[in-house]
Structure 1
């Protein structure tokens, strides 16, 4: 029923490709390699009784309503990607507890979300209590981006400070652009649906793998030793993630409708690959989100 081809899986005439240059981005194609929309995937999968699971827009009844948007941390198109070894996302888990809807799509970039605002489909209705948003991982940790952020191993001169191995101006520029995008989305949500609280996160500390296309390869290309430099590499990635959270806190300070959900140190090494949590980690992240959601007073 499926066949693995290089960095892709073909299943039920749907081709699911991992983009080696864009972290958290996938290409979902038909058998002729033409891009598929969420609606087309749903139709394709409905033939074998999987249409509901394949839909990017899902609604269930429950007292609290939660919509979502963004990248593959929200939606990995589970009916296809499970054959690549992926598990449910934390939002997949949350769907069992709340009335939910999602426009997240694993082939969309942060810039595309900011420009197109697909989440308008739900935010414009003004009836959702929460808007879970995930975005920016590729822009700060994608393979091509990370390699440009990193200095050569020798340029750090043996420093124990992770920031000494990064290009500070480039990191600041990326974070500045991400901040502008988050501020734009936050303003839209506030002005369109004042009763909706936006929940954002900056991912968790990832683990680079020697054969990993997103994190491992950039470090190898910059002459880091994946064994001897394991702790240094982890500290560098942690520094980038911490800076990401710092940027989100700045957005939250400007917009009361934005809450930063700090999920650092929840995954604790339980990754499917370099950037996607496994099922047990997703359950723990979902539990953390449930504490945040259920702890808010009525709006």
Structure 2
């Protein structure tokens, strides 16, 4: 099939709202990219097959980019349909790397989250945190879409991509520990750069919408393999045994997660850090490659994120209550916890701040909206029980 015909048919299916058919048609023409052709560790080993590129010179990263473009179009078409059907569900804008966007081959975090919440996708495999911060694609989308949640996954390529990992390592000497083999100066410099990108991204997001809730997560402990392109080979180049190399990776991932947790604490409730370590598992068989979990591991990571999202309520409740401190005392009228249940009310109250309109009165008014919100929450509870495959 010619590339132009493929793109026209896929576009027609998306525009007609036939998303399952579009996904099936798309998947027919996707193949795995050889590891040698990957340019970043947090990229996706995907390419097209069976297409005539009509004289266009497309290979490697160009094809990954084209695959990503259409994967995003399918996702974002589904987003529009979902908000039309469920206007009270929390709306998510996401930006990230291949843990958020690994088209077709793997069932990544956003594939799972977007089954429950309307999720508009900006992520691209192999994207650097520094590029995301410089391009700031998310700012225009926050103004356009008015999301409730901004989800962010980045930093892996900046720490490990393009030969960066080997620069974080010292040559092995007998008896050396993981801590001694980590080049502290190089690692600290790389980590500061990544966290500067996080601060730039989130400052610009909150400037666009100060009440936005930002969810950030790190990675689980990746698993170096013998002769692995991203981790195994750099370790071997420095003469570091694989077992000690795994300890070094765990140290790097741990320090990165600690930095994210400390960073989130600076934002007084707007930024929520989710620790996904130990979700995938420490067995090499749990990993698709050195960097990416297999589908069950991705599901366990996504489930942690879904539990946080579930505690935030619905679009009505998150807009009816602000985000930083307890609401003023309520007087008169039915208690809102009697309407929507004590557990839900307690969760919402924890997210609230002083407001000109009394928060409990705001929540208690409008029984129609509350009934709709409660119905959406019941649907959400059912949807949180996702299949394993």
TM range (shorter): 0.7 to 0.9
Asked if residue 97 in structure 1 is aligned to residue 116 in structure 2, the reply is yes
Asked if residue 158 in structure 1 is aligned to residue 157 in structure 2, the reply is no
Alignment of structure 1 residues 173-184 onto 2, 5 Å: 173-184=189-200
Change (3 A) 1:56 1:72: farther
Alignment of structure 1 residues 1-299 onto 2, 5 Å: 12=29, 16=33, 18=35, 20=38, 22-26=40-44, 32-33=57-58, 35=62, 41=67, 53=74, 58-59=78-79, 60-61=82-83, 62=86, 63-78=89-104, 82=105, 87-125=106-144, 127-142=146-161, 144-154=163-173, 157-160=174-177, 162-226=178-242, 230=243, 232-256=244-268, 257-268=270-281, 269=283, 270-296=286-312, 298=318, 299=322
Task: Please state whether the residue corresponding to 2:144 is helix, strand or coil.
Answer: coil
Paired position in structure 2 for 1:4: none
TM-score (norm 2): 0.63
Tell me, in whole angstroms, the C-alpha distance in 2 between the residues paired with 1:138 and 1:51: 20
After superposition, give the CA deviation of every residue in 1:50-70 in whole Å (9 maximum; x if it has no partner): 8964x5675133411111101
Q: CA deviation at 1:121?
A: 4.2
Paired position in structure 2 for 1:8: none
Structure 2: segments with no counterpart, 5+ residues: 2-27, 323-389
Q: CA deviation at 1:138?
A: 1.2
Task: Please state whether the residue corresponding to 2:163 is helix, strand or coil.
Answer: helix
Contact 1:204 1:263 in 2 (8 A): yes
Change (3 A) 1:21 1:164: farther
Paired position in structure 2 for 1:5: none
Of Structure 1 and Structure 2, the greater strand share is in 1
Task: Please provide the CA RMSD for this pair.
Answer: 2.9
Change (3 A) 1:37 1:121: farther
Higher relative contact order (CA 8 A, sep 6+): 1
Task: Please state whether the residue corresponding to 1:259 is helix, strand or coil.
Answer: strand
Task: Please state whether the residue corresponding to 2:152 is helix, strand or coil.
Answer: strand
Contact 1:126 1:195 in 2 (8 A): no
Q: How many residues are matched? A: 270
Change (3 A) 1:126 1:12: closer
Of Structure 1 and Structure 2, the greater helix share is in 2
